[in-house]
């Protein structure tokens, strides 16, 4: 059995989609959902599916041995960032070499880096009148949105799109592709 930890900072619709996708899988298991926000809705989503969830403060996230303790306790093999907004400490990246991935709601390297997350990204894409946006799934290193790209796909941005309608288009792409990319990587 391959155990996944999902890290999420907020609502957690991607986390839920991944959880649903792997329900009943014979060889891939969502072992734990970990968040850095005490009131993140992703915690309710995890509990609803009977998945263990853990809250860690930002200080705990920055403490590699604390963080690794949680991963080891849940026998985590892969770490999936799904709307997670903190950097992962170097020691953890080394311990899980090429087994930590992130999804970004734009076509990296455009619209990446610190502060570029969620609606900030969609607002910037609309403000620049880009014709396309999309999603990027990549390995995680010590720099925001910088690791090797695994998968990208795009969608059209139309003149009537708002940050909200674009966010919805991007979420649909994420729901469709993220679980499959995770599955393909692990298998």
Select 105 or 147, whichever has its Cβ closest to ligand GAR.
105
CA-to-CA distance for 153 and 150, rounded, in angstroms?
11
Select 161 or 174, whichever has its Cβ closest to ligand GAR.
174
Name the 3-class secondary structure at 93: helix
Of 107-126, binders to ligand GAR (CB under 6 A) are 117-118, 121
Select 75 or 89, whichever has its Cβ closest to ligand GAR.
89
Q: Which of 74, 104, 122, 138 is catalytic?
A: 104
Active site residue 74: no
CA-to-CA distance for 41 and 172, rounded, in angstroms?
19
CA-to-CA distance for 143 and 13, rounded, in angstroms?
25
From residue 79 to residue 98, the character string flagging contacts with ligand GAR as x (rule: CB under 6 A) and all else as - is: ---xx---------------
Of 9-38, binders to ligand GAR (CB under 6 A) are 10-14
- Give residues in contact with ligand GAR (CB under 6 A): 8, 10-14, 82-83, 103-105, 117-118, 121, 170-171, 174
């Amino acid at each position: 059995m391959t155990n996944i930890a999902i890290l999420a900072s907020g609502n957690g619709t991607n986390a839920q989609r991944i959880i649903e996708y792997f329900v009943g899988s014979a060889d891939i298991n969502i072992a734990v959902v970990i968040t850095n926000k005490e009131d993140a809705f992703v915690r309710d989503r995890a509990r609803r599916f009977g998945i263990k969830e853990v809250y860690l403060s930002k200080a705990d996230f920055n403490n590699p041995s604390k963080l690794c303790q949680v991963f080891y306790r849940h026998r985590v093999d892969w770490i999936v960032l799904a709307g997670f907004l903190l950097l992962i400490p170097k020691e953890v990246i080394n311990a899980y070499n090429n087994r930590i991935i992130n999804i970004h709601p734009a076509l990296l390297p455009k619209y990446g880096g610190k502060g570029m997350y969620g609606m900030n990204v969609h607002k910037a894409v609309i403000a620049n009148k880009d014709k396309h946006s999309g999603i990027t799934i990549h390995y995680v290193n010590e720099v925001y949105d910088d690791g090797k790209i695994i998968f990208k796909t795009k969608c059209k941005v139309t003149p009537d799109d708002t940050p909200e309608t674009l966010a919805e288009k991007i979420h649909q792409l994420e729901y469709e592709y993220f679980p499959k990319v995770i599955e393909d990587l692990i298998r």
